[in-house]
C-alpha cells in the first residue's frame, strides 16, 4: 500500500464557496475534499487533505509529508507569491510536488504571476476550479508509487 498523497491548502481557502464565488466558484473546500477523495480512490490511492491560514502550520505539514507522503499537492494561496519559507520546506521534502490553483494567476494581477512554490514543483495545474485539485491529485499519483 503506497503512502497517501498530501493535499494542502493555504490561507483563506476555508472561505471557498462562501465569499467571492465570481472568482473562485461555488464549490466549498468540503466539495474539493470529496472530489479529491473520489479521484484518489479511482486511482487506488489515498489522500490526507488539510487547510491552514498559518504559514508555520503549512511548513510543519510539509515536513511531515517528507516521510509520511508519497507526493504532495499544494495550493499555497497567497503564500505562494510571498513565502521563501514554504519554498525551502518543499525543496527539503524530497517528494514530488504539484502546485495547484483554482484560478489562473497568470491571467490576473501582475503580483500573482510569480510563485516561489513553482521553483520546487514538478508541475502546475491552474485555472480549472475544483478540477485543478482533481487533476493535481492525478498528476501526483502518476509521479509517485
Q: Which residues are catalytic?
A: 24, 101
d(CA 96, CA 27): 27
Binding residues for ligand CA2 (CB under 6 A): 12-13, 15-16, 19-20, 24, 75, 77-78, 101-103, 105, 112
Report the nearest approach of ligand CA2 to the CB of residue 4 (Å): 22
d(CA 26, CA 16): 7
Report the nearest approach of ligand CA2 to the CB of residue 74 (Å): 10
Strand segments (E) across the chain: 5-9, 47-51, 71-75, 97-101, 123-126
Report the nearest approach of ligand CA2 to the CB of residue 40 (Å): 19
d(CA 17, CA 26): 4
**C-beta closer to ligand CA2: residue 20 or 60:** 20
**C-beta closer to ligand CA2: residue 20 or 94:** 20
Contacts of 45 (CB under 8 A, 6+ apart): 2, 4, 5, 70, 137, 141
**C-beta closer to ligand CA2: residue 24 or 47:** 24
Amino acid at each position: 500500500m503506497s503512502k497517501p498523497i498530501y493535499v494542502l491548502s493555504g490561507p483563506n481557502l476555508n472561505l471557498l464557496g462562501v465569499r467571492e464565488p465570481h472568482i473562485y466558484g461555488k464549490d466549498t473546500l468540503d466539495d474539493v475534499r470529496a472530489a479529491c477523495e473520489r479521484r484518489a480512490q479511482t486511482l487506488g490511492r489515498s489522500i490526507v487533505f488539510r487547510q491552514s491560514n498559518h504559514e508555520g502550520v503549512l511548513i510543519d505539514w510539509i515536513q511531515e509529508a517528507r516521510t509520511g507522503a508519497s507526493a504532495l499537492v499544494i495550493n499555497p494561496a497567497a503564500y505562494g507569491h510571498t513565502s521563501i519559507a514554504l519554498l525551502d520546506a518543499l525543496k527539503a521534502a524530497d517528494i514530488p510536488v504539484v502546485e495547484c490553483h483554482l484560478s489562473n494567476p497568470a491571467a490576473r494581477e501582475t503580483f500573482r504571476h510569480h510563485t516561489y512554490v513553482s521553483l520546487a514543483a514538478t508541475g502546475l495545474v491552474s485555472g480549472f476550479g475544483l478540477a485543478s485539485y482533481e487533476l493535481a491529485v492525478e498528476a501526483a499519483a502518476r509521479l509517485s508509487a
